[in-house]
A and B are shown apart, each in its own frame.
Chain A
Amino acid sequence: MRLRDTLRSGLEALLGHGLRSLLTILGILIGIAAVILTVGLGEGAQTSVNSEISALGSNLLVITPGSTESSSGVFAGFGTSTTLTLADADALESKRVAPNVLAVAPTAQQPATLTAGSSNWTTTVVGTTASWLSVRDRQVEEGGFFTSAQVKDAADVTVLGATTAQELFAGESPLGQTVNDGNVALTVIGVLTSAGTSGSTNEDDMALVPISTAQQQIFTEGSSLSDVYATAINSAALSGAYQEIDDELLALHHIDEPSAADFTITTQNQLQATANSVNRTLTDLLAGVATISLLVGGIGVMNIMLVSVTERVREIGLRKALGAAPGEIRRQFLVEAASLGLIGGIGGVGMGVVGAIVIPHFESSPITISALAAVGAVVVAMAIGLVFGVYPAARAARLSPIVALRTE
């Protein structure tokens, strides 16, 4: 029997029971659409987390107070401890101590309500140094950034994030204007270029001030830092920089045992890996649930194929009497089952693509469907049809023509 004839007789049998075939296809279609959407959701989330993390800057190391090593016994909750000081940051600036470190930007932050004329806006006041701009890889849209001299003098100046500027000045140029935090009047000297809000933290809503100004005049308590950002001279120097920072801070803090460190250094890669692993676990879970629905679709194919074999016993008997070999009968039924899977797979990918376009209009989550995932889904759907068609097809092939022809 020619391949073309095998395909034709299989497809004709499917068309002969249009509604039944359609419902079976629907089972596979929903399964495939569910799988492709959950995987797409996972990939979309990963992309957005990755762009968020790379938006922090390049070759970045983040030093946070406190240890993540809970076994150290003196564990202070992650990010709540107050062990990092400006002196630490200054020490890391030294080319002699840390040759692989390009620049260091210590930051301290507190929420504050700023007023400008009649408008007020609650934002985060971030005290930092002049190197923040280069370390965090940001640009100034208008005006300029504060200089090292202004940091040294604790000048009453501020650089606003794009959102903050918009909220306080509503389209007017904020340059030269004054914002007030209740204690001190700050002159706006610059506005940052928007980082493009991605994800949870808004990189455009903040007011940057020299760290000296923040600690002396604005912040209510202490001189501890919330984060110290450092950049390595290049990506190859990242691990060297990591080691230098670790050694220097341990020495400065008089800690002998590295596992007892009261600070944590995180590289961008680590941030990415952590975020992605959380993401992946969630995606795997969802994809697992979706796979179950695909399995149910496969059982539907098997069910309908078994019904089809029973219903067509006479036809099978006749075909055998006319010279169809068992293998030819088996192939015809496999073609039917695989076609159900294939059509369901293509439909499912189509529905997934529609979902990927429509869902982001209602939910903030982006959905990325790769061509590889789409092709893979179609192949898997066809394979499911094939696998679940094997048993019914074997049953059809085994039928004795005599018994089959006698059946009414």
Chain B
Amino acid sequence: MAGEPIEPTAPVPIIERDPTAQIPVRGSIAGTLERGGELDRRPIIAIENLWKTYHPGDLAIHALRGVTFRVNEGEFVAFMGPSGSGKSTLMHIMGCLDNPTSGTYLLDGQDVSGMSEFQLARIRNRRIGFVFQGYNLLPRLSACRNVELPLVYAGVPPEQRRQRALAELAKVGLSERVQHRPTELSGGQQQRVAIARALVTNPAVVLADEPTGNLDSRAAVEILDLFTSLHQAGRTVVLITHDADVAAVADRVVQVRDGQIESDSAAV
């Protein structure tokens, strides 16, 4: 089975940094200077000169070639690009599912670029809320227990878990469906359960990978409305999509192509 950590190409030093000492050079980061008033906002994602290289056989494929950007607290950003553009790789690294080959990644002020698998698991659990295209709910568990799942790995006691899950399900409008299994719910409802699950740990950022890809247009609109209202409530939301209509709901659109950032609406 694949999935062993991929070796860096050149002797790339993974720079260990003290998170508090690491202040990215603001001038080099697109979209921060221009928005003036947001300068004082805390960066949730600060990525600098990020490379990711795969080695299938003798080849060296650069999925990401020196990507640099920053997502501040409370932003609603869409990463757009065709398949093969590197946006999925970027999402995996942003989601701490994979390590970059080189470059630095500060998540909520913490350097995660050289972390072990165990540390990354802890970071994913506490700082990131995932929403997937295919919902990825466990079919044997009720909606409520699906939402509880991240809290199980956080070691939260059962009673507290249940209360927090029920509260999140209420926020996405599924109070009546807490004991239903995923198969008894519509696609839109399943995605709402997944969003509740992403929010239950109160993460620093919600990462949504093509969240409307499997939904009909009406359900898709509902889900996008839900993301908008999350943003309005102050959440940091990152959307990954190939669909310009979906990306349009975000405040800021970053175009990814050939492993590099082609354009960033905030930089205009």
Q: What residues make up the interface of A, taking CB atoms closer than 8 Å to B?
A: 1-2, 4-5, 9, 12, 16, 314-315, 318-328, 395, 398-405
For the complex, count residues of B whose C-beta is within 8 A of A: 30
* A325 to B150 Cα, complex, angstroms: 12
In the complex, which residues of chain A have a beta carbon less than 8 angstroms from the beta carbon of B126? 323
Does B140 count as interface, using CB distance less than 8 angstroms?
yes
The answer to whether B3 touches A325 (Cβ under 8 A) is no
- 7 more A-B residue pairs beyond the given contacts A398-B1, A400-B4, A403-B3, with a C-beta to C-beta distance below 8 A: A320-B124, A322-B124, A323-B126, A326-B118, A327-B118, A328-B153, A405-B132
In the complex, which residues of chain A have a beta carbon less than 8 angstroms from the beta carbon of B158? 4
* A327 to B153 Cα, complex, angstroms: 11
The answer to whether B117 touches A323 (Cβ under 8 A) is no
The answer to whether A400 touches B152 (Cβ under 8 A) is no
Given contacts A318-B136, A405-B132, contact A323 B125 (CB under 8 A): yes
The answer to whether A318 touches B117 (Cβ under 8 A) is no
Interface string of B123-165 (1 = CB under 8 A from A): 0111000101000101010000000011011110110000000
In the complex, which residues of chain B have a beta carbon less than 8 angstroms from the beta carbon of A2? 152, 155, 157
* A326 to B121 Cα, complex, angstroms: 8
The answer to whether A319 touches B149 (Cβ under 8 A) is yes
Chain A nearest CB: distance from B134 CB in Å? Answer: 9
Give the nearest-CB partner of A6 in chain B: B152
In the complex, which residues of chain B have a beta carbon less than 8 angstroms from the beta carbon of A401? 97
In the complex, which residues of chain A have a beta carbon less than 8 angstroms from the beta carbon of B182? none
Chain A nearest CB: distance from B35 CB in Å? Answer: 31
The answer to whether A403 touches B124 (Cβ under 8 A) is no
The answer to whether A1 touches B138 (Cβ under 8 A) is no
In the complex, which residues of chain A have a beta carbon less than 8 angstroms from the beta carbon of B125? 322-324
Give the nearest-CB partner of A401 in chain B: B97
In the complex, which residues of chain A have a beta carbon less than 8 angstroms from the beta carbon of B124? 320-323
The answer to whether A321 touches B3 (Cβ under 8 A) is no
* A323 to B153 Cα, complex, angstroms: 6
* A326 to B3 Cα, complex, angstroms: 13
In the complex, which residues of chain A have a beta carbon less than 8 angstroms from the beta carbon of B233? none
In the complex, which residues of chain A have a beta carbon less than 8 angstroms from the beta carbon of B171? none
Given contacts A395-B1, A402-B92, contact A325 B152 (CB under 8 A): no
The answer to whether A325 touches B97 (Cβ under 8 A) is no
Give the nearest-CB partner of A326 in chain B: B117
Question: Can you offer 22 A-B residue contacts whose CB atoms are under 8 A?
Answer: A1-B155, A2-B155, A2-B157, A5-B152, A16-B140, A315-B138, A320-B97, A321-B130, A322-B124, A323-B124, A323-B125, A324-B121, A324-B153, A325-B121, A326-B117, A398-B3, A400-B1, A400-B3, A402-B92, A403-B1, A403-B3, A404-B3
Q: Give the one of A5, A399, A404 with max B CB within 10 A.
A: A5
In the complex, which residues of chain A have a beta carbon less than 8 angstroms from the beta carbon of B1? 395, 398-400, 403
